[in-house]
Structures are given as C-alpha cells and as structure tokens.
C-alpha cells in the first residue's frame, strides 16, 4: 500500500470512493483497496517510465501507458513501476484506454494488487483533465464543508465559554464536536473535569502519559503532542504559557478540521483557567499601563518576565526578547488563531493586525515552525532595541514568504553599515531616494527586489502582486533615480540607502 509517511500536499483529502461514484467519469476499480481511508489529494498526469522524482505524495497518477516498453518480461517492468509509485507516496493509479492500449495490461493489475495500490480504468470517453477537474471540485466541496464545520464549532465553543459553568461546558461541546473524550488536567496532573464517552483504561492512561509530554518543564517543551493507541487518536495541548494546565482529547476518528477545533478549545480553556487571574497576568497588565503612561521599556521589561523562566522578575538579563511576525497561509488572522499562535510560541504578548500577527516572546525559547503559519523571527534584543527587532522580524517574514519557507530567522552580524554614523546614513538615504519619496510602493518593491537578488517571481510572491507589476515598478524606480540597476555598485549603494530609509 502507499507510503503513510509521504509528505502529502496540505489540501483536503478526497475519498477515492467519491471519485468512483461520479457517473460522468465512469471510472472502474480493477485492483487495490477502496475503503474510507483511501484518499487522494490531487491528480497528476505523467508518461514517465519512472514517475518517482515528479511525485509529492497523495496523487492520483494518470497515464495512458505510453511509457510501457516492448519487453519480454512485462511483469518485472510493472512491478518496478508500481513499487516506485508507492515509494513516492502515490495514492492511486488511473490507466486510460485508447489510443495506446485497448485494455489495461493484466501484469499491471497484478502488480497493483501485490503492492496495495488502487488501480482505476479510465474509459476512452473520459479525459484526464476531466478527472483532474472532478478531483478539484470534490476537494473544494470538502474544504468548504471543513471550513463550515470549524466556523460552527468556534461559535459553539465560544457560546459555551460564556455559560455560568464555562469549563465543563467547553469540554462537553469539544467532546461532541470531536466525537470523543475531552479532559482537563491540572498543573499537578490531577483530572479536573472531563466530558464525552470514557475511553478504555489503557487509552486513558496513554492520554495521561501524553499530557506529561507538553507539561511545561523547560524552553524546549512542545505546545502539543499526538499519538495513536488501539486505533484511538490522542492529542494533548498545553494551556497558556506556563500555568501547567493541559487539555487531553481522545477520538476514534480524525476528520478535517479536528486539530483546529481542538486548538480553539485549548485557547478558550487557557483563558478560563486563568493566566489573566494570576500574578503574571497582573504584572503584564501593569506593564502595559506603564508603557501607555510613558514609562521607558527598560523599566517595564522586568514585569513582562514575571511568570516566565525562573520567575525571579529581577530583570537581570531577563529583558531580552525576540519579536516574531507571523502570517497565516490561508485566511486573514483572527483573535482565536492569534491567541493559539501565542500559546504555541510561549507568550501571551500578541498583537493582532489585519494580515500579520506580532508576538513578543522570551528569547530563551527557540521558536519552531507552526503549522499553517509563515514566521519571521528577530534576533534577541534588549528592551531598548525592540523596535529594531520588530523591523528585523518584518524583513525575515518577507523573505520567508518569498522563498516559501515556514520560518526564517534574522541573521544579525556586524556589517559595513556599522562604520557609518546612523544620522549620516539616514541623511544619505533621504537624499539618494528623494525621487521616490512620494511613492512608497516603489520603495517597497525596490527593497524586496534587491533583497531577493533581482528575482521577479519571488518578489511578486513576497509582495502579493503580478510579476509584470514588479517589472514596471522597478523600471519606474530606475527611471526616477536615473540609475543603472544592472550595475552591482549601484545596487549596493541603493541597498545601503534602503536599509537606513
């Protein structure tokens, strides 16, 4: 059967049975499994004799058999061909009839049965593009159903959190939405409240053991963990940024959106179990008030460390923080998603913007990639340098989006710009970039284009515009600046100016 460890695309899975049920396609299964667990993530046509290098995993691979050699031993060829598809994580194989083959080769049917790869016969009247379109239609329907389910669950859980008995109500709603069991454990590991059908003793013990994995013990403690025992999917979520409460979930099935729904429940329970009622929460509120009233960041920083790390709050070296800029991969961020991100990064200091979420996190907790987010991380900075760290994080996020990496860290190191006094560097930047002063879009495009070594495509991705727009803006900038942007010296001077602009 297909490799379960393959890195399939982050798209809603489509049951193979749903594709077979499409009467307009008239597909017919000839070999391999077709149960509810057999899903595909997209369709891809290839006539390569060895498709392995071109597969990402989860595909319905479509072929007309053009690559089949005139060999005396077709069994060996098809066995190796199917084995390579399975090794690449391919989910199923579709074989098109006519004009090359009138029937599906028997040796291919036998090989798919032997390797557990579903084999579909694509009739002459069905095009590969039609099959791919059907896959995308089913995928869109699955995505819409998943989003609708998650939205309804968010509203339901939020309503439960407003009830007079919020913690039991949230657990009950969570267990119902996940069709499983939800339990809240206290800082000492005791079971505080639970809802849903009780699992078997062995599963309950495994869930309790899993919660210890996420219980705060140091900077490397994960925010969540998962396991499967006796066919039951287990998940554990640390609540808050160090209070010790843990949410455990056990469910017999895993549906699309379950992790998001459980994360929403974890965020609500984090609020209900009470960092904002604790001394750490009160200290942070005091810090915010003092900043608003004009207190310097250096004086406020010790209050932010109350409850973090060793909790001594003396401010001796504890004021260093990192700034994280995060952007969700799909939709605009909301308050629940931003709070969940802060929990994952170990900090309640979260600023929700229209497109980007900013988190001020402890410097001694190394951030890791967060599924569904693209992160830019600054270098550790003392309170007086947090504004500069904010700019570092913004540049790191722009680069992460350009190179499509889940996380990019600012690589701070001494440079030639440190040899020029800041005031003089800024004055030079203003003079050099004066023709662009009233055109911020040109400045942003030029900065991004230079940072990405003149790549039109990656600059377009980073800015969210068409590559032709990038070309027009860069050409307009060159005209206004009267500069040859192909000259490396000119590029270097402009980059220096833009860094101080």
Q: Give the list of residues 6+ apart from residue 430 with CB closer than 8 angstroms, or none.
A: 437, 501
Burial class (CB in 10 A: 0-12, 13-18, 19+), 33: middle
Tracing tokens 């760290």 back to the chain, one arrives at: 389
Question: Residue 268: which pLDDT band, with cuts at 50, 70 and 90?
Answer: confident
d(CA 396, CA 373): 14
Question: Residue 5: which pLDDT band, with cuts at 50, 70 and 90?
Answer: very low
Q: How many CB atoms lie within 10 A of CB 190?
A: 8
CB 84 within 8 A of CB 54: no
d(CA 340, CA 207): 21
- More confidently predicted of 73 and 195: 195
- More confidently predicted of 424 and 205: 205
DSSP output for 408-472: EE------GGGGS-HHHHHHHHHHHTGGGTT-HHHHHHHHHHHHTTT-HHHHHHHHTS-HHHHHH
Q: Can you list the domains of the chain with their CATH numbers?
A: 14-139 (3.40.1390.20), 164-276 (3.30.450.30), 279-318 (no CATH), 320-413 (3.30.70), 420-499 (1.10.10.2840)
- More confidently predicted of 447 and 402: 447
Question: Residue 152: which pLDDT band, with cuts at 50, 70 and 90?
Answer: very high
Strand partners, 360: 323
What's the Cα-to-Cα distance from 160 to each of 250, 337, 450, 489, rounded to whole Å? 20, 18, 51, 62
Predicted confidence (pLDDT) per residue in 82-115, tens digit? 999 999 999 999 999 988 899 999 999 999 999 9
pLDDT at 313 over 50: no
Average pLDDT over residues 112-123: 96
Output b/e per residue, 233-257; b: 16+ Cβ within 10 A: bbbbbbbbbbbbbbbbbbbeeeeeb
What's the Cα-to-Cα distance from 409 to each of 379, 391, 400, rounded to whole Å? 7, 12, 9
Closest CA to 54 of 93, 90, 78, 92: 90
d(CA 125, CA 392): 56
Question: Residue 287: which pLDDT band, with cuts at 50, 70 and 90?
Answer: low
pLDDT at 241 over 90: no
Average pLDDT over residues 388-410: 87
- More confidently predicted of 175 and 337: 175
Average pLDDT over residues 401-430: 75
CB 449 within 8 A of CB 436: no
pLDDT at 391 over 90: no
**Of 5-9, 172-176, 318-322, the least confident:** 5-9
Predicted confidence (pLDDT) per residue in 29-49, tens digit? 999 998 878 999 889 999 998
Question: Residue 164: which pLDDT band, with cuts at 50, 70 and 90?
Answer: low
pTM above 0.75? Answer: no
Phi, psi torsion values for 164, nearest 5 degrees: -60, -30
d(CA 459, CA 469): 10
pLDDT value of residue 277: 44
Locate 163 and state its tokens: 């009830």
Q: Give the three-class secondary structure for 274.
A: coil
Predicted confidence (pLDDT) per residue in 453-496, tens digit? 888 988 888 888 898 999 999 999 999 999 898 888 888 888 88
pLDDT value of residue 316: 40
pLDDT value of residue 9: 57
d(CA 172, CA 165): 11
Q: Give the three-class secondary structure for 335.
A: helix
pLDDT value of residue 48: 92
Question: Residue 4: which pLDDT band, with cuts at 50, 70 and 90?
Answer: very low
Phi, psi torsion values for 321, nearest 5 degrees: -140, 165
d(CA 241, CA 258): 22
Question: Residue 280: which pLDDT band, with cuts at 50, 70 and 90?
Answer: low
Percent of the chain with pLDDT over 90: 31
């Amino acid at each position: 059967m297909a490799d379960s460890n393959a890195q399939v695309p982050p798209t809603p899975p489509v049951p193979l049975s749903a594709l077979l049920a499409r009467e307009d396609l008239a597909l017919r299964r000839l070999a391999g499994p077709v149960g509810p667990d057999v899903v595909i993530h997209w369709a891809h046509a290839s006539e390569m004799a060895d498709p392995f290098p071109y597969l990402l995993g989860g595909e319905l691979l479509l072929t007309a058999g053009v690559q089949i050699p005139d060999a005396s031993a077709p069994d060996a060829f098809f066995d190796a061909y199917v084995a390579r598809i399975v090794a690449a994580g391919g989910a199923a194989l579709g074989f098109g009839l006519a004009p090359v083959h009138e029937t599906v080769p028997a040796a291919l049917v036998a090989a798919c049965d032997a390797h557990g790869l579903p084999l579909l016969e694509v009739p002459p009247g069905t095009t590969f593009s039609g099959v791919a379109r059907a896959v995308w239609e089913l995928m869109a329907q699955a995505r819409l159903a998943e989003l609708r389910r998650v939205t309804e669950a968010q509203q339901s859980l939020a309503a439960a959190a407003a009830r007079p008995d919020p913690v039991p109500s949230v657990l009950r709603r969570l267990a119902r939405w996940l069709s499983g069991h939800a339990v809240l454990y206290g800082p000492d590991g005791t079971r505080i409240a639970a809802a849903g059908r009780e699992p078997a003793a062995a599963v309950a013990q495994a869930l309790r053991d899993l919660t210890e994995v996420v219980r705060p013990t140091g900077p490397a403690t994960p925010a969540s963990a998962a396991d499967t025992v006796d066919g039951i999917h287990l998940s554990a979520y640390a609540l808050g940024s160090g209070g010790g409460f843990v949410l455990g979930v056990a469910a017999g099935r895993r549906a699309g959106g379950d992790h998001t729904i459980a994360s929403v429940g974890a965020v609500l329970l984090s609020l209900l179990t009470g960092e904002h009622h604790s001394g750490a929460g009160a200290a942070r509120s005091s810090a915010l008030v003092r900043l608003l009233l004009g207190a310097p960041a250096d004086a406020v920083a010790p209050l932010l460390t109350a409850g973090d790390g060793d909790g001594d709050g003396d401010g001796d070296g504890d004021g260093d923080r990192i700034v994280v800029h995060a952007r969700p991969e799909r939709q605009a961020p909301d308050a629940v998603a931003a709070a969940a991100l802060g929990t994952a990064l170990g900090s309640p200091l979260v600023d929700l913007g229209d497109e980007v979420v900013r988190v001020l996190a402890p410097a001694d907790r190394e951030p890791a990639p967060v599924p569904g987010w693209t992160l830019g991380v600054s270098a550790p900075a003392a309170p007086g340098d947090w504004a500069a760290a904010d700019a570092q994080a913004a540049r790191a996020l722009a680069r992460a989006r350009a190179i499509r990496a889940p996380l990019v860290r600012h690589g701070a190191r001494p440079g030639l710009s440190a040899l020029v006094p800041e005031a003089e560097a800024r004055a030079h930047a203003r003079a050099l970039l004066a023709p662009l002063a009233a055109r911020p879009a040109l400045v942003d495009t030029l900065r991004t284009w230079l940072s990405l070594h003149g790549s039109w495509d990656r600059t377009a991705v980073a800015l969210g515009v068409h590559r032709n727009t990038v070309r027009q803006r860069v050409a307009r900038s060159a005209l206004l600046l009267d500069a040859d942007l192909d000259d490396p010296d000119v590029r270097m001077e402009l980059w220096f100016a833009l860094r101080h602009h």
